[in-house]
């Protein structure tokens, strides 16, 4: 008789992540994860006494996946700030369920945009942008905020509607947002210096 496979915490998180990715977060429950792992619900409930805890672990895995996706420029050329915006939008088009789970599930309830921009998870993105924009931290955050709002709006439309993904069109709008944000930020700073 073959030995019984031990169901680990990581296996359960991976299964929940795959369920979110293919079917959506609302389908995470002990039964669906057990079916995915071909086991009883007992190991799921042993490692996660509440499904809310499992959803949080799946969220963290999705967030790590998203961060790696954003920073994977493999062969892409161009301004990193625009490239990150494009990756964000492409993620929404290709990974609709994960995008909804990460950015439209109420995970940021009660937070301000400033809190999100200053989040530790965003540090690698801001560091790349700051270096390439040759800007100080405050300028980089202002530029990022402008480009992010454009990218998030477009990403939300793609994740929630049957729209065509047109990369050339998206890139043109990201360039406008980026150039406009730099111009506006520089103008604000020069106005502050003259006051």
Residue pair 32/58 in contact (Cβ under 8 Å)? The answer is no
Q: What pTM did the predictor assign? A: 0.84
* Structure-block tokens of residue 151: 């990218």
Candidates 80, 66, 81, 78; CA nearest to 145 is: 81
Nearest 5°: the CA angle 51, 57, 60 is 145
54, 43 Cβ separation under 8 angstroms: no
Strands (E), 59-117: none
C-alpha–C-alpha distance, residues 83 and 69, integer Å: 11
Please tell me the chain's helix, strand, coil percentages from 3-state DSSP, rounded to the nearest 5: 75, 0, 25
Query: Counting every residue, how long is the chain?
Result: 195
Tens-of-pLDDT digits for all 195 residues of the chain? Answer: 555 669 999 999 999 999 999 999 999 999 999 999 999 999 999 999 999 999 999 999 999 999 899 888 776 656 777 788 899 999 999 999 999 999 988 877 777 878 877 778 778 878 877 887 778 888 888 888 888 889 999 999 999 988 888 888 998 888 898 888 888 887 777 676 665
- SS3 call for 106: coil
Three-state secondary structure call for residue 173: helix
How far apart are alpha carbons 19 and 74 in whole angstroms?
A: 27
């Amino acid at each position: 008789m073959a030995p019984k496979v031990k169901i680990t915490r990581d296996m359960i998180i991976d299964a929940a992540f795959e369920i979110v990715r293919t079917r959506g977060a609302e389908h995470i429950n002990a039964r669906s994860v057990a079916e995915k792992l071909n086991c009883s619900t007992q190991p799921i409930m042993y490692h996660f006494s509440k499904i809310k805890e499992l959803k949080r672990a799946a969220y963290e895995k999705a967030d790590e996946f998203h961060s790696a996706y954003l920073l994977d420029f493999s062969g892409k050329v161009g301004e990193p700030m625009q490239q990150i915006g494009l990756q964000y939008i492409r993620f929404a088009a290709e990974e609709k369920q994960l995008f909804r789970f990460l950015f439209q599930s109420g995970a940021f309830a009660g937070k301000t945009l400033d809190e999100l921009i200053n989040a530790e998870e965003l540090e690698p993105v801001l560091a790349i942008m700051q270096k390439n924009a040759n800007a100080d931290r405050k300028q980089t955050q202002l530029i990022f905020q402008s480009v992010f709002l454009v990218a998030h709006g477009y990403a939300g439309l793609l994740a929630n509607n049957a729209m065509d993904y047109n990369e050339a069109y998206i890139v043109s709008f990201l360039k406008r947002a980026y150039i406009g944000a730099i111009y506006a930020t520089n103008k604000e700073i020069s106005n502050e210096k003259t006051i």
